[in-house]
Structure 1
Amino acid sequence: MIDLYYWTTPNGHKITLFLEEAGLEYQIIPINIGKGEQFQPDFLAIAPNNRIPAIVDHNPQDGGSPISVFESGAILQYLAEKTGLFLPKDLRQRTQTLEWLNWQMGGLGPMAGQNHHFNIYAPEKIAYAQERYIKETNRLYGVLNKQLADRDYIVGEYSIADMACYPWIVPHQAQSQNLDDFPHLKAWFERIAARPATQRAYAKAETINTQPSVSDEESRKHLFGQDASIIK
């Protein structure tokens, strides 16, 4: 059994995509980030960066005590190694898959996240910041579109690299991006959206939360108003 500490964000969706594809037994433990539940001591014990997602694997491969993992990229790699799924064994393909996983973790996710912040959530609109992150998101879409020009998935076969990237493309309209400008990426996006496991993962999200995480001043405080004073 895997406990998934989760909220309905792109990083949370990455993990339900894998778990649904792999058919692993898991239970979702919702962490309502708009209400500050990510700062509770029990959650911080497994996720010291106070961010979802995190997991606890009660049946690790070594047969020992439960293992906790935080950071969505690390979780995807852990689950792929646990199951032998969605991470190629061939050295070159494995290396490429991890490259693109880290590309998402270090590029697409943070830049699209800043895009969301300045275009949707910021209390004042700063034209420079909006343009900066819309353009950088656009550049990253172009990078991914080029990679997909001659293949169905990012490294060839469906992998954790695709699972990492897809949820960050789902809100493309909110990022001021038009998928028609990126035909290879659009075909890839539609291919993943049609997968039954993807549909199950997103349907599960609808049973947990249908509201934006940022809805009032309290949620803004929890999501955007923290500094090092919260680290105890």
Structure 2
Amino acid sequence: MVATKSIILGCALALSTAALALPAPVPQDSEPDNCPYTVTAEDLTAIDSKTESCDSNAAFAKECADATRAAPAITTSFKKYDISEPGVQAALIAIMLYESGSFKFNHNHYPEPGRPGQGTRNMQMSPFNEKYATDLFGADAVAQAQGAGGDAALDAVLALVQGDEESFASAAWFLMTQCTADIKTGLASGSAEGWDAYLTKCVGTTHTEDRDPAWTAAKMVLGA
């Protein structure tokens, strides 16, 4: 059996303490019940080496998040939405890597000049960002953001969910609130059928071959 990354990495401190029979308390962020949610920067760079750093000269450099920034935000999202299955985690990381160009973008830019209101790391469309922002901040905050009207209103709502914690959690939120339960079950299985159903029946996109490498790599690194 292949050991999952949560056992290898997230539980390392707890296991070593137990082996030595030390009575010292384990820090909160290393307790065994947190282990299944943990994703590290090393995990992300192993999945996609382009996440290791950001290019300060890139056209949208301010939107880039490297693996060191992304990992804690993704871990927080998995804990918040109770996503502990490696197969599900792999799919969510894969779609974020694909849609954001390896975490380089937080807003849709292509084809130029981009689509107003579309963004976050899984490039959610504006109607979903409105739902997401409403869930997080309430209808009043969203209404206030929409005050400018038009495309500016769409981008203002998007801005509410573009912080690291919100942006890297949008894929988990979408899966848990906009997809049927069988989609998550299919992803947990790690099967090609489950991945295809997630993309075509839940996300509503075309399953092209260029989406598969990140998913395959994520499954391998996470032990799915």
- TM above 0.5, yes or no, is no
TM-score bin, normalised by smaller chain:
under 0.3
Instruction: Indicate the structure with greater strand content.
Output: 1
Instruction: Indicate the structure with greater helix content.
Output: 2
